[in-house]
Chains A and B, each alone.
Chain A
């Protein structure tokens, strides 16, 4: 009977619909916490702590009957946002990147191991150079995108080659940290973990979910055009991952964007240094 009505075949069972709705509410809560953080950033930290407890407990209590891996992925995104407030005696750009990025990378790898079995097969699979010509094109898009991001954001905390006291090794350290934790780390979190796991609940609509969470994580920039830009870039990277099954190109592009925004483009302009 469904052969004459193909849309019925695509319809999911009511229980699965209800689960997807609950997961969507968690995504909305993530966005809400980020928006509330505009009032006071501490609300973001406390909000994400509450969300982490809710997400982990929900996952543990329901895992006997069904798996909702997107809850774990969202919890890791919440941890990343919470750890963004990691205090340091002096705000050093590289130290901040490492101290926030390393635990985030650890959480992402642990979550992928939990959901896809032991080893780092899921990470290796996502970094495999599939459709190389396509990956090169995506990676190259990082250069114009980094200029667009810089024009929209113009951060007040930058590292420049032109700064007299800036040792070349320090600049190299920032570049490596940006490539490892911003480029690779965030792509593993938002594309491989979040987008990948959201596919089990939302199917092709996972692209909207991962882009929304990725964009919400940048609400703290207080720039609507930049957040919209991030959502568009997130959707583009997600689409590339969906199409190729690899984040190699998008990780390189993301790294190039970050390095351009914080290191290269500010050298051309006159921006106060950190």
Chain B
């Protein structure tokens, strides 16, 4: 009983080549990560009345995304033969 590995996710990952899935999902993760990081800086700079912990709210989501994106990039390089 693992919700991350269902019939759909397994089917998606198994039916597409790594280059395709890493491009789509890696791209989505990167776009989301960049958006959150930009938002973190903008809210800190513009909305000064927000609590000091606001940056940590973005970190909750950005840190795992960063970790996953790093793994995808490393795997992509390894797939290229580096």
Listed in ascending order, the chain A residues whose CB lies under 8 Å from chain B are: 37-38, 41-42, 44-46, 49, 52-53, 56-57, 59-60, 63-64, 72, 75-76, 79-89, 91, 93, 96-97, 99-104, 106-107, 110-111, 114, 146, 149, 153, 155-157, 178, 181-182, 186, 214, 217-223, 230, 233, 254, 257-258, 261-262
Contact, CB under 8 Å: A103 / B49? no
The answer to whether A87 and B21 touch (CB under 8 A), given A42-B12, A157-B5, A221-B7, is yes
A sample of 29 cross-chain residue pairs with beta-carbon separation below 8 angstroms, ordered by A number, consists of A41-B8, A42-B12, A45-B28, A49-B31, A52-B32, A53-B32, A53-B36, A57-B39, A59-B57, A63-B51, A76-B60, A79-B61, A81-B3, A82-B28, A84-B5, A86-B25, A86-B71, A86-B72, A101-B4, A103-B65, A114-B57, A182-B1, A186-B2, A186-B3, A219-B6, A220-B9, A222-B8, A230-B1, A254-B1
Contact, CB under 8 Å: A41 / B2? no
Q: How many A-B residue pairs have CB under 8 A?
A: 169
Q: Which of A64, A75, A93, A103 has the most CB of B within 10 A?
A: A103
Chain B 12-44 interface mask (CB, 8 Å, partner A; 1/0): 111010100110111011011001100100010
Contact, CB under 8 Å: A88 / B75? yes
**Could you tell me the distance between the alpha carbons of A118 and B12 in the complex, rounded to whole angstroms?**
38
In terms of DSSP, what is the predominant structure of the interface of chain A?
helix
Interface pairs A-B: 4 shortest CB-CB: A220-B6, A103-B64, A220-B8, A87-B21
- Among A57, A103, A182, point to the contact of B68 (Cβ < 8 A): A103
**Could you tell me the distance between the alpha carbons of A230 and B35 in the complex, rounded to whole angstroms?**
34
From residue B55, how far is it (CB to closest CB) to chain A in Å? 10
The answer to whether A87 and B5 touch (CB under 8 A), given A111-B60, A114-B53, is no
Contact, CB under 8 Å: A110 / B60? yes
**Could you tell me the distance between the alpha carbons of A75 and B61 in the complex, rounded to whole angstroms?**
8
- Among A84, A99, A146, point to the contact of B3 (Cβ < 8 A): A84
Contact, CB under 8 Å: B75 / A64? no
- Among B12, B53, B68, point to the contact of A99 (Cβ < 8 A): B68
B45: interface (CB < 8 Å):
no
Return chain B residues, CB-CB under 8 Å to A72.
57, 60
Nearest-CB residue, chain B, relative to A104:
B64
Contact, CB under 8 Å: B6 / A221? yes
From residue A100, how far is it (CB to closest CB) to chain B in Å? 4
